Amino acid sequence: MSMELALQTYIAESRGLLQEMEDALLSLERSPSDQHLIDALFRAAHTIKGSAGLFGLDAIVDFTHVVENVLDRLREGKLSIGKPLIGIMLTCADHMASLIDSVADRDGVVETSQVEEGQRLLEQLQPYLDETALNESHSTHTELTEENRAGITCWKVCVQFGQDVLRNGMDPLSFIRYLGSIGQIVDIQVDAEQLPAFEQMDPESCYLSMKMEIAGIEDEKTIEDAFEFVRDDCKLSIEPLHTNLASPKELPGELAGLDASGPKSAPVQATISDEPAVSRTIDSDDPVADESAGNDPRRKTSANKPTRFIRVNAEKLDELINLVGELVIAGASGALLARQFGNTALQEASAAINNYIEHIREGALGLRMVEIGETFKRFQRVVRDVSQELGKDITLEIRGADTELDKTVVEQIGDPLTHLVRNAIDHGIEPEEVRRARGKPAQGVVMLNAYHDSGNIVIEVSDDGGGLNAEKIRKKALERGIIKPTDALSDREIYNLIFEAGFSTAESVTNLSGRGVGMDVVRRNIEALRGSVDLDSEEGVGTTVRVRLPLTLAIIDGFLVSVGESSYVVPLDAVLECMEISSEIKEAGSERSYFNLRGEVLPFMRLREQFGILGKPGRRENIVVVHSGEHKLGLVVDELLGEFQTVIKPLGKIFSNVKGISGSTILGSGDVALILDVPSLVALAIEGERHHESLHLSAERH
């Protein structure tokens, strides 16, 4: 592994560990005596600091070391956890994240503001440190003294670095320095047997092999983790040596500086006992190693440890999805040609190929599907910080955390959800005294929920607050000219006016809201993902904002229809049934826009009229019954062409505001078909019906 790749791995893993720290700290507020959470906190900080030492990231090592000392005292029961300490630790985790960001974005250059913030936080941590920790250096290993030498377990570590270690940007001595910072190097010997003759030496190759005895490290895994980034480029053997430490012994002069990061205490000689050692060997070239220890339960090797997860560059995954999309288009083209030629054998082969393509498509899309629970968990911190800022007692409830959707959608939905959650806390949840007066619990609840519905994912942000005042919203909308006095709007339509640009009912401007920005951005960002957002509220009970998004932005199952010479794709999950249009509806023409479906009256929309398609309809027309949430709609089309695997292509900017269209795709013939936006079409139909009713009522008054 190259140094650059190893550093990127460290950055990604550290961010994950910081998220684990944040989750553990927030959980400790509810369960302050949970020792498992405290241990997880310590391990995360220790890992971040230790790996940072391998790359010489001193700013991270220095700061995290102090945090680790506080967590160590907490782990040993010398400190009690409380909200003040949790608050400081959360801020420390934020600072550690900013230091890691500086490594990712600025090659480790720490800005002056970061240095000042770090100093301020270190001052806040001082009361939680004991006197020894305040005066110690940045070494974390235990000092060996006459009093604590007896009975200490040493480790015998044999490492032979691969010849490509230097070419990959790794410094072998940095691993030894790191071991000296977390433990104490008792003895070290360099093996020169691997060195070739001088004239045969390659200056870019590594021939270093050494044996070490190390004390002061608790477990074998800590040593193994030190060699994480060169595990494939070295042979490593670790043996526990149960020893009594004797008098100090100096290291060879040329290696005396290896322990430079730790205190200059004298190394000591280990006297090995007669107890047989159990070794652990990791050898990338020979997985079957150290067979003599094969039956020992403590022995583990990389050969019998199955790999459960691998890291894949997101760009490679996106490229795979794009290639699968092109494969789908090519498969559709082949199937069309097979039908045109009427070759039965070719059609069967084409059908088999398309079947495999469908399995490949489902597998490839599955790689990008992630659970939304990780995104939801991040809002625990948002709820905690914002509620404390406003002086409200609010808890977050999460449901449907195992609901999966496309990774790309998850990445882009974070900001809109943040706006909605902050709005629920600021505008939705009432102050404690108001809640008590209304007979509600003092603690407010914000709930995040996710579930699948008709090929979409629905995300709900709910609160049990005061709800919305429809009359107040209507008055504000009239003042701003958003609606007219003659507009007849339902309560739900009035509630959704809060998504208009610049609309706000806040009485005053605060750090969180009141400036009329945010909710319109929420709708714009969600619509950019081919989604929709609406709102339900009941005054005095609460509010629910419902976001509907497609499961994926890449490939969907569609149902192909035609109107005249134009082709359209209806998302298959939105299709309920198809039927031939009745003569009664056909004779009514444009006078009627609804039909009877087995006793249920449903509106219908003629796509020919909706999209201005020239020409007359054929003798036979069909209705495709679709649904969006609880609403149903009939789409009148000319022909039903059957199911179709649809590779979604984005529309150009010139078509981005066309209502009822969410994208395009390429047919097997090479023609372009437009993908229908069913929720948008349903909303248009409902809006048209209400407008028609409004005109009818107005005519009756006159």
Q: What is the pLDDT of residues 28-65, one digit of tens each?
A: 988 888 888 998 898 888 888 878 877 778 889 889 98
Q: Taking all residues of the chain, what is their mean pLDDT, rounded to a whole number? A: 78
Q: What is the pLDDT of residue 471?
A: 87
- Determine phi and psi for 279, rounding to 5 degrees: -100, 160
95 pLDDT higher than 50: yes
pLDDT tens string 648-666: 887 776 776 677 888 888 8
Phi then psi dihedrals of residue 621, to 5 deg: -125, 160
What pLDDT shows up at residue 694? 58
- Burial code (b: 16+ CB inside 10 Å, e: under 16) for 263-281 equals eeeebbebeeeeeeebbbb
Q: Which two tokens stand for residue 541?
A: 């009970």
Helix or strand or coil: residue 177? helix
pLDDT of residue 293: 36
Segment 146-168 shows an average pLDDT of: 72
445 forms beta bridges with 395
Question: Model confidence at 282, in pLDDT bands (50, 70, 90)?
Answer: very low
Minimum mean pLDDT range among 163-177, 317-331, 411-425, 602-616: 163-177
Q: What is the rounded distance in angstroms from the CA atom of residue 166 to the CA atom of residue 440?
A: 66
Closest alpha carbon to 285 in 210, 207, 233: 233
Q: Angle at the Cα of 25 (from 310 to 376), degrees rounded to 5? A: 60
Mean predicted confidence (pLDDT) in 364-391: 87
CB 645, CB 353: distance < 8 Å: no
Residue 129 to residue 70: CA distance in whole angstroms: 6
Which residues lie closer than 8 Å to 112 by C-beta, 6 or more apart?
none
Cα–Cα distance between 410 and 27 in angstroms, integer? 24
Confidence of residue 464 (pLDDT cuts 50, 70, 90): very high
Q: What pLDDT is recorded for position 242? A: 56
What secondary structure does DSSP assign to 194-258, as a single string? T---GGG--TTS---EEEEEEES---HHHHHHHTGGGGGGEEEEEEEEEEEEEEE-PPPGGGGGG
- Give the pLDDT confidence score for residue 295 in this predicted structure: 38
Structure-block tokens of residue 583: 């003569």
Quick check: 551 and 406 in contact, CB under 8 A?
Answer: yes
pLDDT > 90: what percent of the chain?
Answer: 14
Query: d(Cα 42, Cα 72) in Å, to the nearest integer?
Result: 7
Rounded mean pLDDT, 117-126? 91
pLDDT of 344-355, one tens digit each? 888 899 889 988
Neighbours of 605 (CB within 10 A): 20
Query: What is the dihedral angle through the alpha carbons of 237, 241, 246, 251, rounded to the nearest 10 degrees?
Result: 10
pLDDT tops 70 at residue 308: no
In the prediction, which pLDDT does 701 show? 57
pLDDT-derived band of residue 594, with 50, 70 and 90 as boundaries? Answer: confident
- What's residue 250's pLDDT? 42
Q: What is the pLDDT of residues 629-655, one digit of tens each?
A: 778 899 999 999 888 878 888 777 677
pLDDT at 305: 44
Q: Residue 134 has what pLDDT?
A: 52
Q: Greater confidence, 5 or 239?
A: 239
CA distance 170 to 179: 15
Mean pLDDT of 254-281: 37
pLDDT for the residue 341: 85
Closest CA to 631 of 581, 665, 681, 586: 681
- Please report the pLDDT score of residue 435 as a whole number: 92
- Confidence (pTM): 0.63
**Does residue 682 or residue 248 have the better pLDDT?**
682
Distance between CA atoms of 575 and 640, rounded to whole angstroms? 12
Q: How many CB atoms lie under 10 A from the CB of residue 467?
A: 19
Using the predicted structure, report yes or no on whether residue 554 has a pLDDT greater than 80: no
- Write down the pLDDT at residue 530: 74
**Residues 110, 99: contact at Cβ < 8 Å?**
yes
Q: Which pLDDT tens digit goes with each residue over 198-233?
A: 778 888 888 878 888 888 777 787 788 778 777 777
Which range has the worst mean pLDDT, 9-13, 67-71, 283-287, 685-689? 283-287
Average pLDDT over every residue of 137-152: 46
Q: What is the sign, positive or negative, of the torsion defined by CA atoms of 451, 457, 459, 460?
A: negative
- Indicate whether 336 pLDDT > 90: no
pLDDT at residue 357 in the model: 87
**Per-residue pLDDT for 543 more than 90?**
yes
Q: Is the pLDDT of residue 591 over 70?
A: no
How many whole angstroms from its chain centre is CA 252? 49
pLDDT at 561: 93
Q: Is the dihedral of CA 379, 382, 388, 392 positive or negative?
A: negative
Which residue from 216, 209, 210 is spatially nearest to 263, judged by alpha carbons? Answer: 216
Q: Which residue in this structure is represented by tokens 């480029």?
A: 233
Read off φ and ψ for residue 299, nearest 5 degrees. Answer: -85, 130
Residue 690, pLDDT score: 63
Lowest average pLDDT, out of 94-98, 176-180, 305-309, 661-665, goes to 305-309
Reported as a pLDDT band with limits 50, 70 and 90, residue 398 is: very high
Active site residue ranges: 46, 68, 423
SS3 assignment, position 65? helix
